[in-house]
């Protein structure tokens, strides 16, 4: 079995942590820690009460938290979890199942059959359509029939440390999830997706407004088009196990 770390990514998520953490089974993970964006509520105290080591991130931004998570990982893979209510903690064991099969990156997709996206209840599904649009662009420019992704900005994912290091990620803002997908497609990594049910946020508002986030994603995409495959990455060998 792959030795995996569960990484909580938090910033002022006291309500979510207090609601979700008591229900979670942390035993499948070799280590559990949190990268915290200097929460001003009781997030860190609650995490500590449940034995979760809290690391205050040194540089602001979601991407910075993701990069810092790798520096503290002592296992073979990381599973990222945001305890705000949107992500279903019951899906966590599935990441390890796919990692055990040899996949480099596993994404809980809100866009495939059997999944649910919070925009599905709306007539105008702007967030979902934007996500699908970014996915179409990434798959068209960088993917292949056997290497594609449906949910490119979903942060509920796992990745092997070998693959993470291969991708040479450098975005410190909210675009790191999309960059990770783009570079995984470029490198022809072994990617798996499974359907997930997106829940409603427990409290507070998202830290990522739609329009500024979309502009940032476009800028990052244009940069990735320009640099091509010049980052130091080589495709992993075929190593997916047959079920």
pLDDT at position 236, please?
Answer: 52
Single pTM value for the model: 0.92
- Determine which of 27-36, 85-94, 112-121 has the lowest per-residue pLDDT on average: 112-121
Q: In this model, does residue 167 exceed pLDDT 60?
A: yes
pLDDT at position 145, please?
Answer: 87
Predicted confidence band at 206 (pLDDT cuts at 50, 70, 90)? low
The Cα 12–Cα 205 span in angstroms is: 10
Cα 14 from chain centre? 20
Average pLDDT, the chain: 92
Structure tokens, 121: 């209840």
Q: In this model, does residue 90 exceed pLDDT 50?
A: yes
Q: Sign of the CA dihedral 108, 111, 117, 119?
A: positive
- First-to-last C-alpha distance (Å) of the chain: 15
Residue 193 makes CB contacts below 8 A (sequence gap 6+) with 106, 107, 108, 109, 112, 149, 150, 151
Predicted confidence band at 61 (pLDDT cuts at 50, 70, 90)? very high
SS3 content of the chain, % helix, strand, coil (to 5): 40, 15, 45
**Yes or no: domain 4-227 corresponds to CATH 3.40.50.300:** no
């Amino acid at each position: 079995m792959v030795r995996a770390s569960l990484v909580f990514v938090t910033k002022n998520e006291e309500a979510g942590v207090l609601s979700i953490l008591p229900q979670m089974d942390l035993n499948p993970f070799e280590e559990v820690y949190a990268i915290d964006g200097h929460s001003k509520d009781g997030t860190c105290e609650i995490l500590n009460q449940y034995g979760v080591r809290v690391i205050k991130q040194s540089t602001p931004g979601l991407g910075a938290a993701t990069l810092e998570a790798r520096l503290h990982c002592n296992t073979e893979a990381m599973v990222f979890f945001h305890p705000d209510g949107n992500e279903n903690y019951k899906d966590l064991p599935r990441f390890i199942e796919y990692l055990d099969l040899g996949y480099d990156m596993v994404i809980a997709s809100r866009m495939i059959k059997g999944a649910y996206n919070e925009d599905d209840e709306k007539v105008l599904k702007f967030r979902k359509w934007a996500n699908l649009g970014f996915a179409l662009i990434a798959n068209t420019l960088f993917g292949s029939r056997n290497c594609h992704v449906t949910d490119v900005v979903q942060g509920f994912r796992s990745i092997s440390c070998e693959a993470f290091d291969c991708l040479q990620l450098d975005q410190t803002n909210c675009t790191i999830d999309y960059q990770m997908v783009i570079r995984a497609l470029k490198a022809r990594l072994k990617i798996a997706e499974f359907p997930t049910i997106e829940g409603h946020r427990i409290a507070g508002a998202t830290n990522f407004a739609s329009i500024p986030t979309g502009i940032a994603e476009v800028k990052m995409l244009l940069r990735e088009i320009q640099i091509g495959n010049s980052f130091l990455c080589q495709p992993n060998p075929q190593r997916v196990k047959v079920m």
